[in-house]
Amino acid sequence: MRAQWTTASHIELAKESIDFMARFAQELGINVWLRRGGYLFLAGDEHTLRLLENGARLHRAHGLATRIIGAGEASELVPELDTGKFVGGSWNPDDGVVFPWPFLWGYADGARKRGARVETFTRVTGLDVEAGAVRAVRTDRGTVRADRVVIASGAWSPSVAAMAGVALPNVPYRHEIVSSEPLKPFLGPLVTMMGTGLYFSQSMRGEIVGGMGDPAEPPGLNQTSSLRFLARYARALTDLVPRLGQVKLLRQWAGCYDVTPDHSPILGETPGVRGLLQMSGFVGHGFMMAPAVARRMAGWMGGARDELFERFNVSRFAEGRFEKETLIIG
């Protein structure tokens, strides 16, 4: 979870979510193991460093502690880095990581205590639309009547929306991850190399967990693992941290980014289908912004005014309005 973004809206949403993560245990009674080791973005050339400097100025205007550091200071944070591979970086010590499973359990348990029903192992098979409005959700365990339905299915959101005759511009892309054998803790921040998409951090148990994007990856709901990724990741990681060349890799998996044309989410009402609400298109950062977006959507559904759901409405693409976010990892 990080607040280092290139648009004001993403920064504020991330800040709000991170603040909630810090008090998660107090509010929902479960520890999500928040570790604020920071995010370190590395620039391989001066042009990229200038872009990070522009971002840092915006971050500071929104109250973040982001600052630009040289290769020497970056190597003080992570001594194993090969400083010949980058010229500097952007560093926010307040960014960090949480453990996702207790985060999910805490939300589910909190929802149940407030009267919600959480149905697991339930597949949506259809959406009923009558007279231009959503009426029900059909599942393999029965039909749920509803006059408001929120589609928050990540990379599967376009498939769900299609059940109501709605075409979303989101496109799924596979992103692969790998985990190493446990090592003695040495890595405080999550490190990412601008341009290559490489990122990696160290878990509480000591594994190096990381990944990187592939510009040749075709779109599709593909969650298989590939040798191509493993080879590209290993080369990029050992190029930046040569000492990791002898580390054993233990397991590999994949998930799907939910990519919109401007790398920003789709929120709010669906034109042409009353009551069908959108909450998707977060690329690879839906988890870290979910607390803020969900809280705001709950208020908005209750009648509160919030320009977020107008600005990020799916209609912006047809109208030529783009909310371009550029600081995407992976």
Residue 323 has pLDDT above 90, yes or no: no
pLDDT reported for residue 120: 93
Q: Please state the φ and ψ torsions of residue 166, each to the nearest 5 degrees.
A: -105, 130
Q: How close are the terminal C-alpha atoms of the chain, in Å?
A: 14
Query: What was the pLDDT predicted at 5?
Result: 85
Contact 296, 306 (CB under 8 A): yes
Instruction: Calculate the alpha carbon distances from 160 to 51, 138, 153, 172, 290 in Å.
Output: 37, 11, 8, 13, 19
pLDDT classification of 209: cutoffs 50, 70, 90: very high
Provide mean pLDDT across the span 11-30.
Answer: 91
* pLDDT (0 to 100) of residue 7: 86
| pLDDT number for residue 228 | 96
Of the pLDDT bands very low, low, confident and very high (cuts 50, 70, 90), residue 284 is: confident
φ/ψ bin of 165: left (φ > 0), alpha (ψ from -120 to 50), beta (otherwise): left
Q: Where are the alpha helices (DSSP H) in the chain?
A: 8-22, 24-28, 46-61, 71-77, 100-113, 157-162, 227-240, 286-301, 308-311, 315-319
Neighbours of 118 (CB within 10 A): 10
Q: How confident is the model at residue 6 (pLDDT cuts 50, 70, 90)?
A: confident
Q: Percentage of the chain surpassing pLDDT 70? A: 98
Tokens encoding 67: 């600052």
Q: Which residue shows structure tokens 């509160």?
A: 304
CA dihedral 272, 276, 280, 286 (to 10 degrees): 150
**Candidate from 144-148, 285-289, 325-329 with smallest mean pLDDT:** 325-329
- Amino acid 330: pLDDT: 55
Place of tokens 């054993």: 248
Q: Which DSSP state fits 45?
A: S
Euclidean distance between CA atoms 71 and 192, whole angstroms: 14
Q: Exposed (0-12), middle (13-18) or buried (19+): which is 250, by Cβ within 10 Å?
A: exposed
Per-residue pLDDT tens over the stretch 210-223: 999 999 999 999 99
Please name the residues in contact with 48: beta carbons below 8 A apart, sequence gap of 6 or more: 194, 195
Q: Please report which confidence band the pLDDT of residue 171 belongs to, taking 50, 70 and 90 as the band edges.
A: very high
Q: List, in order, residues 6 or more apart from 131 with CB less than 8 Å away.
A: none
On whether the CB atoms of residues 236 and 193 are closer than 8 A, the answer is yes
pLDDT of 329? 65
Work out the average pLDDT over 278-299. 93
Quick check: 25 pLDDT over 80?
yes
pLDDT band at 322 (very low <50, low <70, confident <90, very high): confident
Domains within the chain, CATH numbers bracketed? 1-113 (no CATH), 123-170+262-319 (3.50.50.60)
